Amino acid sequence: MLHQLTASELSEKLHAKEVSAREVTQAFLDRIATEDQHYNAFLTVDAEYALAQADVAQSQLDSGTAGALTGIPVALKDNMSTTGVRTTCASKILDNYVPPFDATVVTKLKEAGATIVGKTNLDEFAMGTTNENSAYGAVHNPWDTERAPGGSSGGSAVAVSAELSALSLGSDTGGSIRFPASLCGIVGFKPTYGRVSRYGLVAFASSLDQIGPFGKSVEDAALLAHVISGYDNLDSTSLKDSQIQINDLKSGSLKGLKIGIPEELFGDEIDPQVKEVFELSVDQLVKEGAIVKHLSLPSIRYGVTTYYLIAPSEASSNLARFDGVRFGPRIESTGHVESFCATRGQLFGDEVKLRIMVGTYALSAGYYDAYYHRAQQVRGMMTEEFENAYKDLDFIISPTSPIVAPPLGGITDQMALKALDLCTIPANMGGFPSISIPCGLAYDLPVGFQLTGPIMSDERLLQASYAIEQAFGREYRRPPIL
């Protein structure tokens, strides 16, 4: 069946004229219509819009101008602007917002001939760890629908894992691509900060946010990363000469690869069975000739605390525009200030309000130096420690998540939830490229293997990840879905 194929396999069939772009798109639209009731992965699906793009893709295939993603269905996290298509950020305050422009990544997808099948569910404004903070209900993990898929890009991860879309895009601020990829048993890649334009991404924390791909395989994720990356003069943080090249993706070797395991990412916080699966995976890499070194990066211990000062501070600033005047609906009250308070108080969810308050406090006069400025100093220290480690290492590895997918509602302690970002946060702090690859099962649920590299090492990272994927010697594991 078409939905069971990887994006690379679908591309081969499309180019060989074994199937049409409309047939592929319709197959996934039909699957969304029948199966997404179990997952709640999509917030908006416009079949007519998707099929119109499929027809454009077919014309490219027929004329010989098609690329690797032509006719391939892609789902978008619903914090990326799409012309004429609702973009909600899973928040009531943007319930009926329809952007007049496309995000740069959307423009690039259209130019590549991909078909956008829908917008996916997320934690409201990308703020959350389990994708239970959406105003439109929690997303359910295909491996066990009573469990969380991880957040905040849970809908995009589930779209690929449940085979509702061949590929998808998410955004990663503190692990929001890699964490759900790990919990859903797929590949999730966060490129170097600045290699993918953030123009048209509704900002959460601007110095941390980065768009990246989900796929069933490293090859699939790399194909999508190649298409969406590159310099964009609409994004002031975009890097020159930054398109990710994948011509040598399959030519890498693990022999002599130097990888490090920080003790701070492999401590008591890691579930024993997750640790065992990870250790077996490392053993396999050693058999393939990789050189493994254990090291200490002390600043990692402060990563979660530092992140939860910097990210809310930037969120406080970025979300100030949603006030019932400039964006979103307005709840009228007895005066302007009262209307402002009513609008934000009733239309923002609890987690968003909490982070705005924390960020506003950290930026306030008298506390800025003690909290936000100090957090930025620790961020710089962490980045320097990683950069020094890369002088002797090619990559740093760890489990992606300290646990497997938790039951929905199973973690009520907010600090315990935030601590789950322990392994993923450092890559965002330094802007480093990082990827999660499935490496096995614990408790019959997926475990992710995380690989993080130096700035602008995306090509080498993907190449090594492809070789690692082959070394694990495991075919893509489908969740127990129809």
Active-site residues, by number, are 77, 152, 176
Position 148, amino acid: A
| Cβ-proximal residues to 442 (8 Å cutoff; 6+ apart), any chain | 271, 273, 274, 276, 277, 404
Nearest partner of 194 among 151, 157, 242, judged by Cα: 242
- Between CA 5 and CA 23 the distance in angstroms is 14
- Between CA 380 and CA 412 the distance in angstroms is 32
> CB-based burial of residue 334 (10 Å sphere; 0-12 exposed, 13-18 middle, 19+ buried)?
exposed
- Is the bond into 364 cis (omega within 30 degrees of 0)? no
Q: For the chain, how many residues are written? A: 482
| Cβ-proximal residues to 238 (8 Å cutoff; 6+ apart), any chain | 194, 197, 198, 199, 231, 232
Q: Is 338 helix (H, G, I), strand (E, B) or coil?
A: helix
If you compute the radius of gyration of the chain from its CA atoms, what whole number of angstroms results?
21
Q: Cα angle at 50 between 141 and 31, to 5 degrees?
A: 35
